[in-house]
Structures are given as structure tokens and as C-alpha cells.
């Protein structure tokens, strides 16, 4: 189900989110920019008008939002807002704990970000690595599910399956997948030894179909797009992982150095909201379908099949459309 909230609940959700980041002198510019972008693009609401009505406390938010699904989606957005505070403070995690208790939500983000503040980056990074390992198989290419994951040697048979896409028409998903790797200087999965090869097979197909490039802001936006298509636990974990690597800077991925504060870069918050709206407009989630089956089809046909709309600005440096 796409990341939508009933119209009658949107104001309470936004006022509650503002309340949950109202610490240490108030929300940071980055937190407000992200929330404003999500509010406008995903829910068609003007955040300034909502702010004028004042924040809601944890108790008031819980009283106003009683639907468990809406509460869960409140939490999903709050994860992104929490990690946008730099440095993340004890006051911020304590306040979010209050909202988590009142609205009865939980998740690995609570453990990771609390350890970041209370124990340190090393423990938080260990939390993240454990979290990533636990759900990596769920986020891997379905057609590779029966194959063993190797981390000590390349997988030439896998690489050959992808290199065979070169025989497909230039406008096919398969050929576009290979072009993505050439364009960005990335090794085709299986070419190098990595425990992430099966994961990147699915992840990078999602990049290609969505038309989002692997820039720092693009990686976070892609995961937000994916969660907005269907906010199931697998897709929510994808956004959390992206935020940990690219916003919190706790860890690096095998294909990119750890970054910090990418949502504070010019245009990044706006991109996030735009891509969440595009993801929510899709008619089905294509992130974990059998991409080998789709590879011979034209990329345009695949996008049409899943209702993928063009980006608002395909020339912004974060897209290839």
C-alpha cells in the first residue's frame, strides 16, 4: 500500500511531527525543509499554515491519531526527521521516545539512534550492521534467492547473466541496466567479491526503473520512493539503511563512502518529497519483482506497467530519464 494518510488525519500528523522535533530551540532548517517537502508533494498541504496552529505534544498526538496504520506512517516520516538533526541530541531522542511510547511504535531506528547519542558511533554502527544483515536477503534479487551468497570470491556466472543483457535492444530494461553501470563506473554484480551482490542486483534495477541516479541525495530519494510505493517492512528498512549511510554517516556501503547530512544539500530535501510523491503514484511495487523476466522489455514499457511517472526535473543531476 502506498504511503498515504487519510485527509482528515494529515493536520494532526503534521502538527505531531512538528512537536516531535521541537527541541533544543526548535526544529532545524533541514528538518523543516524535509517536512515541508513531504507535506507539499505527498499530502498537498502548506506546512507554514499548519505550523501557525502550533505543535501537538506526544499525548495530544496519540489522542488525535488512533489508527495504527496512520501511527506507523507517522513513525516512518519521523525517522527521516530525527536523523536530519545534526548533531543528534539527547533531547531529541528523548522526545521521540515520548512519542514512541504514546503512539505505541517501535523499530530498529530507535536502537540505532539512541546508541549513537548515549553510547557512541561505534555501537550505533554495530547496531546498523546487525540490522542490515538481518534483512539483506529480503532485499535481494528474487531470482537469486536459491543461490548461495559469496563474500570471498566473485560470481562469474552471475556477472555473465547480466552481461548477456548487452544482446538485448538498446531501449530494453536489460541494456539500460548495463548502461547504468557504465555511466556511473560501477562493477556489474558478480564481477567482484561482495556479500551485497544479490542485493545490488535488485537495488540497481530499482534505480534504473525509477530513473534515479546513485548520487547521495538520489540514494536517499530512491529509498523514499521505494517506501512510498509500499511501506512494507522491507521497504522501510531500505529507507532507514539509506539514512544511516547518507544522512547519519554511521557506515559506508560497499559502493559508496559514508556521507553526512546529504538532505541539507541544495535541492536534496525537495528531491526527497518529489520522489516520495512519484513512488506513491505507482500502481505496484517493482523493487522486488523478478527483474530478469522484465529485462527484455523496453524500459518505457516497464515504467508504464508500474505507473512510474517522469521526474519533475529530469535534468537536475539526480535522474536519467
Given a cut of 80, whether residue 239 has pLDDT beyond it is: yes
Q: What's the rounded mean pLDDT across residues 232-237?
A: 85
Q: What's the rounded mean pLDDT across residues 188-192?
A: 92
Contacts 24+ apart (CB under 8 A), 256-260: 256/214, 256/216, 256/219, 259/216, 260/86
Question: Taking the mean position of all CA atoms in its chain, how far away is CA 214?
Answer: 12
Instruction: Give 287-306 pLDDT, tens digit per residue.
Output: 989 999 999 999 999 999 99
- The sign of the torsion formed by the CA atoms of 228, 214, 254, 181 equals positive
Does residue 84 form part of some domain? yes
Instruction: Give 12-30 pLDDT, tens digit per residue.
Output: 999 999 999 999 999 999 9
Do residues 142 and 47 both lie within one domain? no
Does residue 105 form part of some domain? yes
Residue 54 belongs to domain spanning: 7-119
Do residues 163 and 258 both lie within one domain? yes
Do residues 144 and 285 both lie within one domain? yes
Poorest-pLDDT segment among 40-44, 61-65, 98-102, 196-200? 196-200
Count structural domains, the chain: 2
Do residues 62 and 160 both lie within one domain? no
Burial of 254 (0-12, 13-18, 19+ CB in 10 A): middle
Bond from prior residue into 87 cis (ω within 30 degrees of 0): yes
Do residues 25 and 161 both lie within one domain? no
Does residue 318 form part of some domain? no
Do residues 149 and 87 both lie within one domain? no
Does residue 258 form part of some domain? yes
Tell which of 89, 119, 149 closes a domain. 119
Q: What is the pLDDT of residue 235?
A: 86
Confidence label for 160 from pLDDT (cuts 50, 70 and 90): very high
Confidence label for 115 from pLDDT (cuts 50, 70 and 90): confident
Q: What is the pLDDT of residue 182?
A: 96
Given a cut of 60, whether residue 253 has pLDDT beyond it is: no
Q: What is the pLDDT of residue 1?
A: 47
Do residues 291 and 187 both lie within one domain? yes
Which residue did the predictor score with more confidence, 238 or 313? Answer: 313
Cβ neighbours of 145 (radius 10 Å): 10
Instruction: Give 53-67 pLDDT, tens digit per residue.
Output: 999 999 999 999 999
Does residue 102 form part of some domain? yes
Q: How far apart are CA 210 and CA 249, in angstroms?
A: 25
Q: What's the rounded mean pLDDT across residues 129-133?
A: 70
Amino acid at each position: 500500500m502506498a504511503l498515504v494518510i487519510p485527509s482528515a488525519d494529515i493536520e494532526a500528523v503534521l502538527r505531531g511531527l512538528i512537536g516531535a522535533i521541537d527541541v533544543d530551540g526548535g526544529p532545524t532548517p533541514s528538518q523543516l525543509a524535509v517536512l515541508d517537502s513531504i507535506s507539499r508533494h505527498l499530502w498537498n498541504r502548506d506546512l507554514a499554515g499548519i505550523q501557525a496552529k502550533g505543535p501537538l505534544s506526544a499525548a495530544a498526538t496519540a489522542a488525535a491519531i488512533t489508527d495504527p496504520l496512520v501511527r506507523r506512517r507517522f513513525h516512518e516520516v519521523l525517522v527521516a526527521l530525527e536523523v536530519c538533526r545534526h548533531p543528534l541530541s539527547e533531547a531529541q531522542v528523548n522526545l521521540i521516545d515520548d512519542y514512541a511510547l504514546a503512539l505505541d511504535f517501535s523499530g530498529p531506528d530507535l536502537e540505532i539512534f539512541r546508541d549513537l547519542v548515549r553510547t557512541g558511533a561505534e555501537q550505533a554502527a554495530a547496531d546498523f550492521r546487525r540490522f542490515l544483515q538481518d534483512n539483506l536477503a529480503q532485499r535481494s534479487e528474487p531470482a537469486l534467492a536459491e543461490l548461495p551468497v559469496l563474500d570471498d570470491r566473485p560470481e562469474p556466472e552471475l556477472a555473465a547473466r547480466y552481461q548477456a543483457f548487452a544482446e538485448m535492444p538498446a531501449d530494453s530494461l536489460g541494456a539500460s541496466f548495463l548502461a547504468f553501470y557504465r555511466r556511473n563506473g560501477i562493477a556489474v554484480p558478480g564481477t567482484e567479491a561482495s556479500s551485497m551482490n544479490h542485493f545490488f542486483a535488485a537495488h540497481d534495477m530499482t534505480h534504473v526503473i525509477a530513473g534515479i541516479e546513485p548520487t547521495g541525495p538520489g540514494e536517499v530519494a530512491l529509498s523514499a520512493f521505494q517506501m512510498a510505493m509500499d511501506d512494507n517492512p522491507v521497504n522501510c528498512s531500505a529507507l532507514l539503511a539509506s539514512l544511516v549511510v547518507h544522512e547519519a554517516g554511521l557506515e559506508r556501503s560497499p559502493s559508496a563512502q559514508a556521507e553526512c547530512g546529504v538532505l541539507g544539500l541544495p535541492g536534496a530535501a525537495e528531491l526527497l518529497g518529489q520522489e516520495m510523491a512519484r513512488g506513491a503514484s505507482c500502481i505496484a511495487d517493482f523493487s522486488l519483482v523478478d527483474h530478469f523476466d522484465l529485462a527484455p522489455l523496453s524500459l518505457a514499457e516497464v515504467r508504464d506497467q508500474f505507473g512510474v511517472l517522469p521526474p519533475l526535473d529530469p535534468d537536475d543531476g539526480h535522474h536519467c530519464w
